[in-house]
Amino acid sequence: MNVASSLFAQILFVVFALLTVVSAAVVVFSPRIIHSAFGLLFTFCGVAALYVFLYADFLAVTQLLIYVGGILILIIFGLLLTQRVMDSKYFEQSHQRIAAGVLGVVLAGVLFGVVLATPWTQAPRPDTPTTEIIGVSLLTQYLIPFEMASMLLLVALIGAVWLARTKRGHHE
Amino acid sequence: MNNLTIYLAIGVILFVLGLIAVMTSKNLVKILMGVELILNAAGLNFVAFTRFTTTNLDGQIAALFIIVVAASEAAVALAIILNFYRQRRAIDVNLADSLRG
C-alpha cells in the first residue's frame, strides 16, 4: 500500500508544506532578527519532513543533523556575538524593498510558469531505503567528489578558525 | 496533490523568499539566512526530481553535497562576519566599502 496516498498523510503533507513556506516568510519579513533565526529552524525542519515524504530517509536525517544541529546553531552564535538581540527597541533596517518585491514576484511568476508548462517525464523510483545505495555510490561512483568534499570541509574549518581568531596586538 | 509540481512550487517559493532576503537586508547574518533558504530550495528540487523522474539516486547525492557546501560556507561566512564586527562594531553591509574607489 502506498503510504503517501492515505488521507492522514495528505493532511500531514499540507501541514509541513505550509510550515515550510510560512516560516520562510517569517525569516524574510520579520523585523526582529532573532525571530528570523527561529523561523529558519522551522523551515529546516519542514524541509526535512518534505524529504521524508519524498522517501529520502538518509537525507532527511542528515538535514536535521547538519542544518538544525550545525548551521543554525552557528548562525545563532553569530547573532548573539554581533547583534543587540535582547534590545527590544532595535528593529531591522531594510532597503530596496519595492525593487526586490517586484523582481521577486516577476521571477516567481516566470518560474511557476516554467514548472507548470514543462512536461516532466514521470518515472517514479521504487520505495526502497536509500542509505545503502547512497553509501555504496559515495565510495564507488562518487569517490572523487566525496574526497573533494572532505578536503573542502577541512579547508573551510581551518580557514574559519584562522579568520575568526583575534589577531595578536589587536586586542581592544 | 502529492506530485512533482507541488514540490517544485515549494522550491520556487523558498528560492524567491531567499532572494528577497539577500536583496533587501542590510544585515550580514540575515543575508546568510537568505543564502541558506536558496540552498534548501535547490536541495528540495534535487530530491523531488530524484523521486519522480529518475530511478537512480544521483539527485539525493547532489543534495548531500549541497548540504556539505552549505556547512562550510556558513562557517567561513560567520568567521568573516565576526571579523567585520570586530573592526566596525556593526554588521551593516553598507559599512563594507573599503574597496570602493
Q: What is the pLDDT of residue A119?
A: 86
- Residue B99 in any domain: the answer is no
Quick one: A138 and A80 in the same domain?
A: no
What is the tens place of the pLDDT at every residue in A76-132? 988 888 877 666 666 667 778 889 999 999 999 999 999 999 888 887 777 888 899
- Report ipTM (2 d.p.): 0.91
Q: What is the pLDDT of residue A1?
A: 46
- Please state the rounded mean pLDDT for residues A48-56: 93
- Residue B34 in any domain: the answer is yes
Tell if the CB–CB gap between A134 and B61 is shorter than 8 Å: yes
Tell if the CB–CB gap between B86 and A166 is shorter than 8 Å: yes
- Please state the rounded mean pLDDT for residues A63-77: 92
- Residue A107 in any domain: the answer is no
E strands, A41-171, where?
none
In angstroms, the separation between the Cα of residue A8 and the nearest Cα of chain B is 13
Q: Which residue has the cell 528560492?
A: B15
**What domain range is A159 assigned to?**
129-172
Quick one: A74 and A136 in the same domain?
A: no
Secondary structure class of B92 (helix, strand, coil): strand
Residue B25 sits at the chain A interface (C-beta within 8 Å)? yes
> Domains in chain B: how many in total?
1
Residue A64 has pLDDT above 80, yes or no: yes
From A96, which residue of chain B is nearest by alpha-carbon distance? B24
Q: What is the pLDDT along chain B (101 residues), one digit of tens a residue?
A: 458 899 999 999 999 999 999 999 888 899 999 999 999 999 999 999 998 888 888 999 999 999 999 999 999 999 999 888 888 888 888 888 888 87
- Residue A81 in any domain: the answer is yes
Q: What is the pLDDT of residue A88?
A: 60
Q: What is the pLDDT of residue A67?
A: 93
Q: How confident is the model at residue A148 (pLDDT cuts 50, 70, 90)?
A: very high
Q: Which residue has the cell 526502497?
A: A128
Q: Which of A86, A101, A121 is where one domain is finished?
A: A86
- Residue A120 in any domain: the answer is no
A160 class by beta-carbon count within 10 Å (0-12 exposed, 13-18 middle, 19+ buried): buried
Mean pLDDT of chain A: 87
Q: Which of A34, A57, A120 to mutate to test the interface with B (most CBs of B within 10 A)?
A: A120
From A26, which residue of chain B is nearest by alpha-carbon distance? B17
- Residue A12 in any domain: the answer is yes
Q: What is the pLDDT of residue A4?
A: 55
- Residue A121 in any domain: the answer is no
* Residues in contact with B92: Cβ distance below 8 Å, sequence separation at least 6, in sequence order: A93, B26, B27, B28
Residue B98 sits at the chain A interface (C-beta within 8 Å)? no
Q: CATH number, domain at A66? A: 1.20.120.1200
Q: CATH number, domain at B76? A: 1.10.287.3510
> Domains in chain A: how many in total?
2
Of A5, A90, A51, the C-alpha closest to B57 is: A51
Most confident range (mean pLDDT) of A4-8, A38-42, B80-84, B95-99 is A38-42
Residue B45 sits at the chain A interface (C-beta within 8 Å)? no
- Residue B16 in any domain: the answer is yes
Q: Which of A15, A19, A27, A167 to mutate to test the interface with B (most CBs of B within 10 A)?
A: A27
DSSP A122: -
Q: Which three cell numbers stand for residue B64?
A: 548531500
- Residue A152 in any domain: the answer is yes
**What domain range is B62 assigned to?**
4-92
- Please state the rounded mean pLDDT for residues A143-153: 95
Q: How confident is the model at residue A3 (pLDDT cuts 50, 70, 90)?
A: low
